[in-house]
Structure 1
Amino acid sequence: MFRAFIAGTLVAGTALLCHAPANAHPVKAEPNQAVQAAFDIIETKITTKGDTAVFSTRVRGEAGKDKPDAAGKFEGSSVYAYVWPTSLDSGEIGFDQKQGIVALAVTFHPDFDDAASGGKNRHIWHPHWVVMAKDKACGGGLKVVDIPAGAKPKVPKTWPGVPLLIDSPDYPTSFTGDTVDVEIPLSLIGTIKGASFDGVAAGLKVNGNLHAPLLCVDNVFKVASGNLSLPGKVEPAK
């Protein structure tokens, strides 16, 4: 199902993602008992307050409660993530322009560290910027964009040194009951005001052969809009 709506939604490329309705606000979803409660998204939103943008997702159960089992090695290991796909351009988060779909993701992966400057983060939920693109080789139809061998793309200062378009900034991230929040200084993403977004809960997997695609969306638990149409609109907190 997810591969089908990915194909339908992204066929025109990331430009399509910029045309969410002008009157959209948070993205709300009906609870679904077939989805794990910790990933059953009820509402996702991005608001601005003072000099901060707050990315927030509320679920039916306890946010962050469920974590992937350890594989004992990097290859074939799993990642769980709360994700906010956006209409931002990859150039706005420190990469080259027009590289794919820009998303903020709060992730947990017990088998490897991908913090900036060699830091440790394998046993905590932590944020990333990721750039994603379609790939039929992935079970969920999407991947984190690979950096080909020998390529020297533009990367942000907190890029963790892996061959992916992924950033590891140290943004305040909190889990409180049914909600996960990430706070980001507006000075780092000033064009977030008025941007479009959606909410996704998903499982990702590292390629067992360590070949591209290296990191695939493997299992989509829930998409807030149901079709990844980015109907949300960033607005000031009320």
Structure 2
Amino acid sequence: MKKKFLTIVAFISFTTAFACDHCKQYEDSKDFKIKSAQVTHNKKYGTLEFEIIVEGKAGKTVPTPVGKLDMAPVLGYVFPTTLKPEDVGFSPTEGIVALALTSHPDFDDSPLWDENADGKFDNDGIVWHPHWVVLVQDKRVKGGLSVKEYKKADPITKPKTAPDMPMYMDSPGFPVVTQNNAIRVSVPAYRINNKVSFNYDAVACYLQVSAPEGGMSMDKPMLGVYNVYSVLSKNLSLPYKVK
């Protein structure tokens, strides 16, 4: 697992030198410079508390909308983990399970949840919210990673809370809180098969959607990582353990 991550991060280090124009406006933001992170098992409440601390204000900076789904920007605070896809409700598959806290004003991919509490369920993609994703190496994008895709005819299992998109992505609805320099999310232990011992890392990054008119493009992934702003471990070795 660690060897796989080191291979990916070497690829990222090479490709981010050619980062996309949209990515660059966030490169110097302290809101995406990670200082620390932790995952704590709260035995009293049966939860895993995920937290990232940044140099600036966590969650203050959100993407500038482009007004369409194609090329829509996504900003993320991401916890790559050593959890298995089946621990979070997917069929067994190759890839890295990550908990991504995201904001994207151009679309909403959590139709079961009303994150801004306005009575509408399709207008709050800009509000920071969580996704379980399976990440794979992808040379089509400059950040070197993408959310793993599948064909709609493939016999795979996804959580009931997953959006209707042919990707290994779930919208579990866990509460995300931003407070000063911290962004946090609370995950019930039973929602990850009661796995309370695993390794993780913390990453801040820019992702982008590819959804051209007439169908998805094979030139770009549906949701790819285009720039990595900071990696807590520096080498994506997942050295941190649940406390």
Q: Is 1:211 matched up with 2:206?
A: no
- Name the counterpart of 1:26: none
Letter aligned with residue 138 of structure 1: V
**In the aligned structure 2, how far is the partner of 1:39 from the partner of 1:114?**
23
- Name the counterpart of 1:7: 7
**In the aligned structure 2, how far is the partner of 1:218 from the partner of 1:78?**
10
The number of residue pairs the alignment matches comes to 209
Cα deviation, 1:20-65, whole Å, max 9, x if unaligned, reads xxxxxxxxxxxxxx74110110001111112110010000000011
Superposition deviation, residue 126 in structure 1 = 0.5
SS of 1:92's equivalent in the other structure is helix
- Name the counterpart of 2:140: 137
Alpha carbons 1:200, 1:223 under 8 Å: kept: yes
Alpha carbons 1:104, 1:130 under 8 Å: kept: yes
- Name the counterpart of 1:229: 237
Q: Is 1:41 matched up with 2:34?
A: yes
Q: Is 1:102 matched up with 2:97?
A: yes
Letter aligned with residue 92 of structure 1: D
- Name the counterpart of 1:192: 195
The percent identity for this pair of structures is 38
4+ residue segments displaced more than 4 Å? 8-11
**In the aligned structure 2, how far is the partner of 1:49 from the partner of 1:8?**
32
- Name the counterpart of 1:166: 169
Superposition deviation, residue 208 in structure 1 = 5.0
Q: 2:57 aligns with which of 37, 51, 62?
A: 62
**In the aligned structure 1, how far is the partner of 2:82 from the partner of 2:10?**
12
- Compute the TM-score of the two structures, normalised by the length of structure 1: 0.82
Letter aligned with residue 190 of structure 2: S
**In the aligned structure 1, how far is the partner of 2:204 from the partner of 2:57?**
13
Alpha carbons 1:116, 1:169 under 8 Å: kept: no
- Compute the TM-score of the two structures, normalised by the length of structure 2: 0.81
Superposition deviation, residue 122 in structure 1 = 1.4
- Name the counterpart of 2:154: 151
Superposition deviation, residue 123 in structure 1 = 2.6
- Equivalence map 1:66-85=2 (5 Å): 66-85=61-80
- Name the counterpart of 2:204: 201
CA distance 1:220–1:10, shift in 2 (3 Å): closer
Superposition deviation, residue 10 in structure 1 = 8.9
Task: Return 5+ residue gaps in structure 2 as ranges.
Answer: 12-26, 114-120
Superposition deviation, residue 129 in structure 1 = 0.5
Alpha carbons 1:35, 1:222 under 8 Å: kept: no
- Name the counterpart of 1:16: none
Alpha carbons 1:82, 1:200 under 8 Å: kept: yes
**In the aligned structure 2, how far is the partner of 1:116 from the partner of 1:156?**
14
Q: Is 1:177 matched up with 2:183?
A: no
- Name the counterpart of 1:111: 106
Alpha carbons 1:55, 1:183 under 8 Å: kept: yes
